Chains A and B, each alone.
Chain A
Amino acid sequence: MATTELVYPLAFPKSVVHKCEICGKAASRMCSKCRVTYYCSEEHQAADNIGIHDKICSTLASLRLKQPFLPSEEERRERDREIRDRKIHLVGVTRMIGERHVFQDRFEAAVPAALASLKLAIEVHGPRSVELIPSYLILAEASLGLKQLNQCWEYLSQAQYTVLQQHEQAPLAITSQLARNMAQLSIARKEYDDAARHLANDIYDASLCYGTEHHKVAGGYFLLGKVFKLMNRNEVTESLYTQVTQMWYNFLRRLLQSRVVFSDMDAILGKKDEDDEDELTSSSKLDLSTEAEAFNTLQTLLNYRLETQQTNPMTQELNKIHHCLTILYFLARDYIQVHDSMNKIKDCTIQDIEDDQQRILKFLEQLGQMKALMKRQQQQN
């Protein structure tokens, strides 16, 4: 790799032993950009780079550097607080990247990301805190994807033990996510009753936490539908999948309505997504992991509908799914796919879908016009 540098373990000071980021063995290579990340072999460095290091290289440099001594107590406290805040922020970022990898089925890349988030979280919160659990869950999902069921079980039991150790009730969002992952493990092990039980717990906690119509609960319903399908109770699956479609549909439509209003200039000037997200409220953000989850879910639902179309044609449901995909492509600025997806909708009787399509088309037109205008101006100058 271009950014690698060889280091010699014997050259370090006496008590300092640098360990590999991934496996924890004695390190012989170092990333030359940030100079604080160590690896034991080329493969590990490559894996980490793909997974997470690319994105957080510079941030890590400033965080892991040995801090100079500051004379006053206040300044030291300030600095410590600042570092802690940055670490917390970084934990969030790494988790999201890890979740995105998981939803896009890149499990090997997810592991380094999750590990990084775990290490940072341990530094910030301590080894037994509830805050570590989401990182464990991402690790569990990744190992499930890599078909290492025992490893997954270990991570999940660690998480569950942490929950049990708490004196007060752990936050419902975390217990719900934990239950969901345990259900996924049970599905992989073909223990469908256990899976159903875990999912019931998950849905209950998520409903209590977010409200019964929130899109986060939709994930639980989706998995429950899958379980019932595997248990051959298809009418339940049918009704559950309809419910999931409805929830995502409502959520995405709301997002669309808030987004289409924002100024066209931002799109022209080509500002990146991060700036936009700071302006909008969190309810109208579509963060990376939700986006990936939505894609995944909608693809599966689409396949299911296409399968059952011969026996039970529900064209309106199909149209709804296509429309959700349209909105997703639009929010991801993938405009070619938008047109493709809109063309797949046939015989649509739902007025709302048609309204939305009109809005999207108008927006795209305006976008085209502005771009043409900018080009002309540039040519003049």
Chain B
Amino acid sequence: MNPLVAAETSMHRKKRSNEIPTKQQSSFFQNIILPSKAYQEKSKLPLKQLKDTAKNYEKQPSLRKSDTEKHRTSLQRQLSIDMLLQGYHQSFRELCSILQWQKNDRERLGAEHPYNRRPLLDAEVDKLRFLCVYLNRAEETERRKQYSNVYKNYLELASFFFKSDDHWLSDYFYKKCLSLVQTYSQLDSQLVAEAYRNVATVYERQGNFRKALLNYETYCKSSEHYYDLKTDANLQLTRFYIKLSEHKNDDEALTYIIKAYEASKQSDDKNVENETCYKLGHAYLERENIELALKYFHICYDHCQRVNDYEGFGQASEALAICYQKKENIEKVSEYLTRYLQKVSNKHDDNQYARACSTFGLIQTNLGHYDSAMESLSKAYSIALANDSSDLNRNRVLYGVVNGLKLRSTFLDHINHMKIGELIKWKSAPLKNAL
């Protein structure tokens, strides 16, 4: 072999095995010789590895222009360009408008608004990609005129953003679903009904009650043929009417509760119907319309008896007792209350029992039967004390009141025995002195 080549290769091939292990060497060796260049040259890689690295480097595919561009550009630009290359220009325009809308909103809200702390959409990679993918799919299906698929894609987008708490986007997509449904009326009516429901929830969350009401009613109408949706619609409607009635006062509230009751009858859920019935009864009671109130409370009462719902039964009995008391129909009052007490005492449900007793006591107090009132109220109080229930203060007060009332007669007698004349003299004395 050529001596020069031999020398070169031998220089490259030196290995470390000839060297003494580092620990046993002097500090001179460690500090000066080890880091020196000559020493490192001696222990270079073998020739084969050198050749291999060169070959591997050549084998690597060089980056094409599009790849270098990918490294230099922002994510938004990259995604937009991909979309345009595939021909989805509508999705590109939607994306642009959504991002612009978010930026304008942020500017409008000012710098201190808590929304500003959440990152801008174009900084969140997953959401942006998801958005692009589904927008592309929606556009593709729209071109092929498969409108139900378009609807499904938008629905996916809306639910994704709903889960990730981006309500501004999910609301936008729910509304889009609805407009799609309204323009292309040959879609499945189930989808139509769902669209209305989603939009109604959107408006409810935003606080726009009028529009929410409109949409809930349309939901009801459009879900007439589908049993599940119909019950759901009526339940939503009931709930919504009750919410509305809480916000408003006087007559409008009453009309809302009546509507709620009718809606709850349409849905087959008896419990909800019962509750609404109870609320309606209370509404009439507040407006001193005792007849109607009684009617509805009776319905509740019967239903609770049938279903063995003790709490409901208790509430209904109480309410009935109050009504009859207002009507001054004393026998009925005591009848209902005693029945209530009996039923409840069998069950040993302490809170219910305490409530029952306290109501009974209250009624008796109003009627003037202080002794029986005291009995029941003392029971109620002790139970409440033992259980540390929320009604404790109420029971305390009632018990105190009845004790006071009972003692009132003795107090009055006592006063009568006292020297009224002297009292009066004393009372008028300062007047004389002043004059």
Contacts and interface: CB of A to CB of B under 8 A. Distances in A.
A212 B85 contact: no
A199 B84 contact: yes
Contacts of B87: 224, 228, 233, 236, 239-240
B143 A200 contact: no
A224 B93 contact: no
B96 to A, nearest CB: 5
Interface string B174-190: 00000000000000000
A213 B92 CA distance: 12
B183 to A, nearest CB: 16
A204 B66 contact: no
Nearest to B76: A204
Interface in B89-106: 89-90, 92-93, 96-97
A115 to B, nearest CB: 31
B84 A212 contact: no
A200 B92 CA distance: 10
A196 interface: yes
Contacts of B85: 196-197, 200
B89 A243 contact: yes
Contacts of B77: 204
Contact of B84 (A200, A213, A233): A200
Contact of A197 (B66, B89, B92, B143): B66
Interface residues on A, range: 10 to 19
Interface in A351-373: none
Interface string B40-69: 000000000000000000000000001000
Nearest to B77: A204
Given A239-B89, A239-B90, A200 B81 contact: yes
Contacts of A212: 92-93, 96-97
A201 interface: yes
Given A197-B66, A207-B96, A212-B97, A240 B81 contact: no
Interface residues of B, number: 14
A12 to B, nearest CB: 50
Which of B66, B93, B97 gathers the greatest number of chain A CB atoms within 10 Å? Answer: B93
B93 A204 contact: no
Interface string A199-239: 11101100100001100000001001000100001011001
A228 B97 CA distance: 25
B80 interface: yes
Nearest to B84: A200
A203 B143 contact: no
Given A212-B96, A212-B97, A243-B89, A224 B143 contact: no
Contacts of A199: 84
A228 B88 CA distance: 12
Contact of B143 (A196, A213, A235): A235
A112 B84 CA distance: 36
Contacts of B89: 203, 221, 224, 239-240, 243
A215 to B, nearest CB: 14
Given A212-B96, A221-B89, A239-B90, A204 B143 contact: no
Contacts of A196: 84-85
A207 B97 CA distance: 10
Given A212-B96, A212-B97, A235-B143, A201 B81 contact: yes
A204 B81 contact: yes
A224 B84 contact: yes
Given A203-B89, A212-B96, A239 B143 contact: yes
Nearest to A221: B89
A236 B90 CA distance: 11
Given A228-B87, A239-B89, A240-B87, A197 B96 contact: no
A24 B66 CA distance: 39
Contacts of A240: 87, 89
B84 A204 contact: yes
B90 A203 contact: no
A350 B84 CA distance: 30
A202 to B, nearest CB: 9
A204 B66 CA distance: 16
Interface string B335-374: 0000000000000000000000000000000000000000
6 contacts: A203-B92, A204-B92, A207-B93, A239-B89, A240-B89, A243-B90
Interface of B: 66, 77, 80-81, 84-85, 87, 89-90, 92-93, 96-97, 143
Which 9 A-B pairs rank lowest in CB-CB distance, beginning with the nearest?
Answer: A236-B87, A200-B84, A200-B81, A212-B93, A212-B96, A200-B85, A204-B80, A196-B85, A235-B143
Given A212-B96, A233-B87, A239-B87, 4 more contacts: A199-B84, A200-B84, A203-B84, A243-B89
Interface of A: 196-197, 199-201, 203-204, 207, 212-213, 221, 224, 228, 233, 235-236, 239-240, 243
